[in-house]
Amino acid sequence: MSPVENLVARARVAQKSFEQLTQSEVDLVVEAVAWAILEPKRNQELAELAVFDTGLGNVADKFKKNYRKTLGLMRDLQHAKTVGLIAEDAATGLSEYARPVGVVAAITPSTNPGATPINKILNALKCRNAIIVAPSPKGQTTCVRLLEFVHQQLDLVKAPRDLVQVLPSPITKDATYELMRLADLVVATGSQANIRAAYTSGTPAFGVGAGNVVVIIDELADLTASAKRIVQSKTFDNATSCSSENGVVICAPVYAKAIQALELAGGVMLDADDKQRLQEVMFQNGKLTATLTAQTAEFIAERAGLKNPLAKTARFLMVEEDSAGANAPFSGEKLSPVLTVWQVADFAAAKAMVAKVYAYQGSGHSVGLHTQLQGPIMDQRAAELANELPVARVIVNQAHAIATGGSFDNGLPFSLSMGCGTWGGNNFSDNLNYRHYLNISRVVRPIPEIVPTVEALLENYFSKFSRS
């Protein structure tokens, strides 16, 4: 038996016993495990360890992310039914019973080595599953420490430690792929290579699409508020999030004032020469390098040798672009506090530019809209984006990276894994949540038979065409 086979075998034993618990008993386990990272001292240690080991992001924002994402998830899970009868409909005669999926393989990225694993662990446990985490090599130390805290909490509530395990060091592709093949469900967040491996593992899988979020500032937007939201999102954790704005499309009537607002919020626009210097470091052979990923604007300015003295004190950097695609690398995802800016004539042109960007990279994820705070034009424009662009989410008048994964002031489920639908090569377009970790068994009862007539079903057709 290989080491991975051993992990899975132990997980199956633990899961079978865990499956016998009541809803209240399961909920106690979930609450205990949530405290493994919500407890401030443990959270601080994990945040510091994550930045030390990965070199990505910053400690203060890691702490906030660990706390806020877990707190929000626990709000979502608190009253969710995941044991026994969860729905009943007398009219249809259907009753639904929640069932676990078994052993979950959780593929997690280096960008969130604490927040993403705990999110998947809590969702899995809420649904009476066991889970084995396959962290990125850079994030392994953080994940291992997190699981030490989790196991302490499991001991406290007398739940088996083998419910939550991690692949042993060193983390290899072979071990990760073996885990995916042996598990009952794969939930994968991270590189597109891992997502493709999950989908071809032979195991049912949920994977996420690539990010490259673009937001629109139209002529009706509150420019100061829009700039504040964008900088809050763009600089959070040095833009490690796939939901961080990579570009902003601005309607011409407010372009100059919008740039001014972004500059007042801490942005610095680079000239053509500095843009070229940055491009030479950030991209190699048209592909994003890891050199500047999740670093501060100051670090980026120094590493790229930027001449603008303001760049070294900027919160984020801006570059102007007029096209999208392989010949315009700044139109792609940057995973750093670098924001691409396009000027367009009007809202129709803004939609067209976003569509062009997403045809290159980021299709399926989400789009942002900064417009009037409320009213028919806001509703109409948001509806146009939802109906016309290949996006699973339209985020209106919010800090994008804060809102897309769920927030206390919107209705999305808290998650660090966003499905991008078929546009992004995914089989779901929701925020990954606890319902994706469940099987549903349905009891089907007989009800009074009602057989419709052909005339009733095809009434509209028959009113326009002959019956021949």
Catalytic positions: 242
3 state DSSP class of 158: coil
| Alpha carbons 72 and 179: distance in angstroms, whole number | 29
| Alpha carbons 160 and 340: distance in angstroms, whole number | 49
Cα–Cα distance list, 167 to 47, 161, 249 (Å):
21, 14, 43
Angle between helices 59-78 and 23-38 (to 10 degrees): 170
Alpha helices in 39-88 (DSSP H): 40-54, 59-78
In our burial notation (b when 16+ CB lie closer than 10 A, e otherwise), range 190-226 reads: beeebbebbbebebebbbbbbbbbbbbbbbbbbbeeb
The DSSP bridge pattern shows strands 283-284 and 287-288 to be antiparallel
Q: How far does Cα 65 stand from its chain's mean position?
A: 13
H helix count then E strand count, the chain? 17, 17
For residue 386, give the nearest of 429, 418, 326 by alpha carbon: 429
DSSP result, 286-316 = TEE-STTTT--HHHHHHHHT---GGGGG-SE
Q: Cβ-count burial of 286 within 10 angstroms (0-12 exposed, 13-18 middle, 19+ buried)?
A: exposed
For residue 68, what are its two tokens?
A: 């806020």
